[in-house]
Structure 1
């Protein structure tokens, strides 16, 4: 049985924060209708499953309509979820156990969405195959760090792209 590929596709500030001290995301570049999507549409078309933490789930719920309709989503939480869209499942199992279940269900490509604790758990378990990190031209100074507390991980650069607004996207695979 082949495990699905797991890709961390995420944006950070230059100083490794995925959110401000209050969890805010207002510092992120805001995509404009018909404007640059930083490769999101192509990436999204290639995944079949999303994994995220409860805080990220709640934040996405606050955006309005569920943006991931039609994609299976697993939310790491120990509490029941509220307003659960179709295809969204709460889970409290270990990341490796979920990945095994996804493999048995025929899933092929998992997007590890966030937040920090969920990402760190998957990194600590050695389950992330690729990293697509969009570095926004912003220094927050403090906030929620993406890579705090994870072990060293040697990576191999697959691609990099610079956008006109100063965002730099780095695509790595485990070395």
Structure 2
């Protein structure tokens, strides 16, 4: 199964932190919805999922397989809960999905990268600078410096640029 890690980053490389004062760019949200619909699923961490649900973003994903990765919660209404990224991917593969979209947040992304579970990266770079924020940590236990191959880049609008990379995972 092909796995795609999707994230919105700031121009200085941090995860874009959104909130009421700084909502995410609509172009990035629309892009996520497009990729989720194409895959028919997405994997998300518990805190990110709770944020999505609180903002009312869940309705657009009706009928999709949503897998929430959490070590502490065993059940959430309307979604599947997995104890690890590997368990989430196994579930989606058993359901017959050819692609899995790894949606976030930072802990989930870093765990997937750290375990070598990612085939492609999609980064939407938002035109903002942020003084603090979360980073992708690609130098965890078994994940070191690695060249990636640029597959595509395009402007999404409102200054958001999308970069798509292959990690060359076999």
TM, length-normalised to structure 2: 0.81
The offset of 1:8, in angstroms, is: 1.1
- 1:87-109 CA-to-partner distances (Å, cap 9, x unmatched) read x11111x3234323322321111
* Alignment correspondent of 1:95: 85
Q: Are the aligned partners of 1:27 and 1:138 in contact in 2 as well (CA < 8 Å)? A: no
Q: How many residues align?
A: 164
* Alignment correspondent of 2:5: 8
Runs of at least 5 residues in structure 2 that lack an aligned partner in the other structure: none
Runs of at least 5 residues in structure 1 that lack an aligned partner in the other structure: none
Distance 2:93 2:147 in 1: 25
Query: Residues 29, 65 of structure 1: CA spacing in aligned structure 2 closer, same or farther, 3 A cutoff?
Result: closer
* Alignment correspondent of 1:125: 115
Q: Which structure has more helix as a fraction of its residues?
A: 2
Distance 2:88 2:55 in 1: 27
Equivalent residue in structure 2 for 1:147, among 108, 130, 137: 137
Q: Are the aligned partners of 1:19 and 1:25 in contact in 2 as well (CA < 8 Å)? A: no
The offset of 1:155, in angstroms, is: 1.0
* Alignment correspondent of 1:62: 54
Aligned ranges 1:1-175 → 2 under 5 Å: 4-20=1-17, 24=19, 26-27=21-22, 29-31=24-26, 39-64=31-56, 66=58, 67-80=60-73, 84=77, 86=78, 88-92=79-83, 94-147=84-137, 149-150=139-140, 151-175=144-168
CA RMSD of aligned residues (A): 2.6
Q: Are the aligned partners of 2:114 and 2:138 in contact in 1 as well (CA < 8 Å)? A: no
TM, length-normalised to structure 1: 0.79
